[in-house]
Structures are given as C-alpha cells and as structure tokens.
Structure 1
Amino acid sequence: MRDYSNQTTRRADARDVTITDIETAVIEGNFDWNLVRIHTDAGVTGLGESYRGGTVTDIMAYMADFLVGENPLDVERLFRRMVQETSGHGGTTGKVVTAASGIEIALWDLAGKLLDVPTYQLLGGKYRDDVRIYCDLHAGEAYAVDTGYTEYGEAESYQPDAYAETAAAAVEMGFDAIKFDLDTPTDNDPDPFNGRLSAADVAAKRDIVERVHETVGDDAEVAFDCHWDYSIDSAKRLARALEPYDLLWLEDVLPPENVDAQREVARSTSTPLATGENRFRVHEFSDLLYDFAVDVVTPDPTTCGGLAESRAIANRAEENYITFSPHNVCSPVGTMACVHLGASVANFGYLEYHALEVDWWDDLLVRDDPLIQDGRIAVPETPGLGVELDEDVAAEHAKGDSLWT
C-alpha cells in the first residue's frame, strides 16, 4: 500500500508545524452544517466544513488518529493520505471523501494563515475580485428537508404566481441569478415510482417557467432543478418544452448514475443541462465532461474532495469549454471556501447560496457587513479563508450539548 505519511526530512523552521488536535461541530441551520477545526503547535487553527449528513463528523474524528503529528502545510499529500488510509472502507467515494473534504478545506485555511496569504493565492491566484451568487429559492413554503427527506408543501406553493412573487423579491434583494426547484408533488401522481411526467405535468412546469421568465425579464438569469426525478423520455420532453425560455440551466433531470443517459438528453435539446453535486473526486467526472453530457458542471467542494480536487474538475471542464458552477448548501464557512475556489478558477460561473430563510446566517461570522452584497461576495484579502466563527452564535445553534467535540 502506498504510504502518504510524512517522508520529508527538510523543512524551514517557520514551516515546521504539526497538527495537535482536530475538533468537530454540527450547527443546525436549514441543513446540519458539519464544521471542523484543526489545531497546531504554532497556536494557529484552521476552519473547514463538510457537506451535511449524519456520521460525517465521526469520520473526521476517526481521521484525527493518523493526522495528528502531520504538517498541515502538505495539504494535497494529506488529502491523499486520508483517502489511502480509508480506502478499505469507502475512502474513494461517499461520506468518507466528504469528511476528507472538510478537513482539506480547514488545511487550506491553516496554510493561508501560516503563510500569511489568502487561500485563493495558494490555489493559483485570482481571476476576479468577487464571485457571482445565484440564490436558490422556494416558492412560498414549498417544502422542508429533514435529514434528507423532502416534505412537500401545500398546493398553492406550486402555482406559477408563487414562483413569480418569490423571483421578484429576490431580484429586489440584488440577485441577478436565481434557481427554483421544478419537481412538485404532482410528479408522483398517479405512479410515484416510474419517474414519468404526463403531458399535463410538462405543461404545468412550462407555465411556471414562463411566469418567472415574464416576471424577471432581463434582470436575472434563471435556473431550475429537478432533483434526479425523471425518466429519459420525460427529461427530453421537459427540456424541449423549456427551450423558448433561455434558461441558465436545467439541473439534475435524470438519476445521476448513468452518464450515457445524461448525454442522450443533452444531445436532444438546446436547453443547457447541469449536474454533478453527488459525484466524488475527479475520476467520477471524467466521462461526464469528456463525453459532453453536461453544459454546466456543479460539483460540491465540501463533498467531492475539497478545493484542490474541485479545481482539478474545473480544469478538465475548462478543456471542454464547460462552465464550472459549484453546488453549495453550506454555512458561511463552506461558502467562503467556495468563494476562494471561484476566485482561482478561470471558467467559474456562479456559486449557489441556499440559506435565504436562515435569518442568522451572517451572524455565524464575526463581521460587520453582510457577506452577500448585490448578489456578489467579495474575495477576502486576509490570510486563509478570511473568516472567523462567532463562537457564541455557533453555540446557540449547535446540535448536542456543546459546540466542539
């Protein structure tokens, strides 16, 4: 087995640093946000975030057994060590990679602080001073998510006017890119299993898209998400029906496993298709990108392997002139990690913001101004990620008896 433990013997004194402890926390926002904090013997800490979901913090705590004593500046080597040390029990995909992603992000934060540069500088430099945000919206009280299970709202939440009113409000807030969920309760009627849309279903979705399009005009670009719900025939019919509305993209129209099916839909329509949030590491994106099965690729950096792995995906997308727009349902911590990534990627398009209903989202950081202003987030010039967690606010919303474990 390859040994990715520290094999080096030469290191300048100022960079001869070791990890002394790793702590985790779960914050209850609109999702459970899995935070991680890495301590060093230099007295400097790094903060990161992994994608939502149970047991992720347990895996991060397990990884501390072989990361304590390592030099945190070897970020990419340590990511490979995490994968290698866990390869016998899922280390190449799934929640193990998600756990490693949060630690990798915290290592980049640490490296920036130790070297006194912003994280984007370590990722290769800056293409832009701020990143464009698209706001993920729900029409009315459309649905709630509890541990990954979707509970749909009342019927009036899925009327075109409800979408239009929400879209107008978002544009008024300064967002010029927005996204709605286009899957609705009627998709499951009369058969909840076959993924087929009736002609009436397609017409109803077209009415929603048309109403939003009429409302925002040229003031905002609009995307719609389908959450992997449909059969290939339904996906084709829906994508074709939406062609007149010049969508930013139509996302996740098919279950994610079959790249050939995704490519078949992509080649049948002029509507741009997006997918990628539930793939892991660069290897799972290769066919998607090189077979041109997607127009916009949407990996989640807190899921797929962290910032360096996401940048590798972006590079492969750039080879094929494909836009890179990360999925993001994080707290401000993971969001700011994605901002540094977006600053360093040439083919970056948009970053998701999915916490409009969390009125204390900004309060989780120690700062005076809102993080998002006029639909943009400024790229920090302070070392590391440029964020400081407000421990009191975090403790108030922590899951469990204490903040850090």
Structure 2
Amino acid sequence: AACTPTPRPNPSPRHALRTPPRQSSSAHVSLVPNYGAASGGYFQTSIKVPHGHSGRHTTKMILHVPRGMLSVKPTKPAGWSVAMSTYDLAEEDRYESHGSLVTTGPDKITFTADSLDDALHNDHLLNIPLQLKLGCSFKDQVQDDYSGSNSVWQGQHTLWFKMEQFSSADEDLNHDKVSPWTGAQKDDAEGMSPSWNPPSASGVKACPYLIIYAGSRCSLDHSGTPVTGGMDWMNAYVKPAENMDAVLNEQHVITLATEAALDAQESLDGVYASGATLLTTTNTLKGHDSDIDALRARVAKLEGDNNTLNIAVAALALAAAALGVISLLCVFRVSNKKQFAYSISGLPIVTNLPTLSATKEIDLGKA
C-alpha cells in the first residue's frame, strides 16, 4: 500500500523541563498526551521520565521509535546530548518532503547527560517534548516476548515507544543500572487485554504507548484501488474514523483508566515491598533468639544492679543528712548551752537567776 502523508508545518517546539514529581505513586515512563494521533498526520506530545534507581541519577536514555513513525523531533534537554540513528524505509513507506524523497525513518534516539550535575535527580521528572509525524502503514506486530512495536491493545491501535533508562552513581557516568520500559502488550486471540505492566517475572516494565486512529490524510492503494484516508494495519485496510469526538472520548477514558490502574498497582507493590522487608527483618531477628535472650538477661541484671545502686545512694543521702543534723547540734551546743540543754531535756530554764549576793542574804536570813 502506497503511503503519502499530507505535509503540514511543524508546530513550535517547547522546552524540555525538569520538574518536581507529582504527588502520586506514578513511577513509570509515559507519553503525555498518549492518545488522539491520526495516521498520516502530525502529533505533539512529551515523554515523561521519572527517577531511575534509588540513590542514583538518570544519565542516559535510549528511546526506540515504533515502526510506522516517519519522523520524530525531540527537544534537546539542557546539559544533555542527543543522537539519532535511522533505518531504511520500505519502498511503499517512502515519501516526499520539501521536494526530496525521504528514504529513512527514525530508529533510536539516545539522550546522554553531559555530567552528573546535568543528570536527572531522584527528586525531579524530565519532560521532553516530541514532534511526531505518523505514517500510514503499521506492520511491526508485537509478539509474546514483547518484541515488536505495533499492536491492538484494549481494542485500540497502539504504537509502543520502548525506552531503556540508565542510572549512574558517580561522576564516571558508567550507566551501570538500567530500567527496561520495554513491555509492549497486545490483546489475545479472544480479545482480552493484559494490564499495562507486564508480570515481574518477565524482566520488563510498562512501556510508553500512543493510541492512534485512522485519519483522513493518507493516500493508499487498497486492493488496487486508490483511496484517501484510513491506514494500512498489518496489511489490512482500516477505514478512517467517522465520529472523531466519540473516538477521542473513548481513547481518553481508556488512557485515564489505564494510568489509574498502574498507579494503584505501583502503590500496592510499594506496600508489598515494605511488608516483605518487615518479614525479612522479623525472620532475621528470629534467627538470633539466643542472642536476644542473652541480651534480655543482661538488661535484667543491669536493672537489678541499678536497684541496688539506688538503695545505696538513698542510704548515703540519709547518712549525709544525719551527719548534717549532728553537726548542727554540735554548733548549737557550743554557741548556746542553755538553750541546747532546754531543747534536749525539755526542762524549763530560769532566765533570771538570783545574784550571788542575793543568795547569801537569803541564807543569812534563814540562819
């Protein structure tokens, strides 16, 4: 099927932004928006990249462009280098642009931080605007091993933007940790849709996606008959959408529900991870029961020794108090003998004793 997208001026680019993370459990790469792109048309979106491995900086990202995408123009983040590799387009997918025949399409886009300071820190998100030009033919079917980049998923024609996110811990930018956001999904033969996030045993994570629809811009050869509009999906002609509002509303609802489901799953995974950590800690403690019992015995002994010490301190305090009382009595005895005697014996003390001469007179009188 020949493919001739209708050209259109490119929209003005937006800046790549580093922003604080949303107050959400979201921790996955996604396109924003990720629905509403028409075959043969242009579409502007941003790829949102969260932090990578905990305690590390994201220093490199490789974006695998899905087949059927004729052009991708990313906005270069400040402090990053951007390189793009291409592949040869099939003859029926080649197209004219500004009077020249375009024979290659975008394959991979590699983003590399120039230094650790320019890298994506754990506390931020990186939003990279992308200007897309969609083709009219999509034949890279997603397989059971998550390979491929085109599929019908949740009943929608979906393009998968696989990304590998690399993290570094030091200035060497060794990119030694990778998060594979490459789990492209597809509906099964019965039309059942798997969840966005593949099983953990698969070794891959939820892949960014874009839901598209058959637009009105393509010129196709359908079974030998030239047609305008629609798209070629796995060598089958898909007619252009008739009710655009209904199509966009359905796609919007699907993406909102999908995002909410993955957020909930990530929250539950976080709770499970916390529970698993607690269980591991508990089992570790159980393995040291004898050590814990010995520690408890030592604590009990220390508590007993502490009680003895408290009693000794109290006795010492009482002895000191008694010594203080005795010292005060001694001082009182020396300084005021009469008052001391009265205080000790409880006997009244004559304060006005007769003089010696008066005593003699009394004695003489008696005589």
TM-score range normalised by the length of the shorter chain:
under 0.3
TM-score by length of 1: 0.19
- Structure with bigger strand share is 2
TM-score by length of 2: 0.21
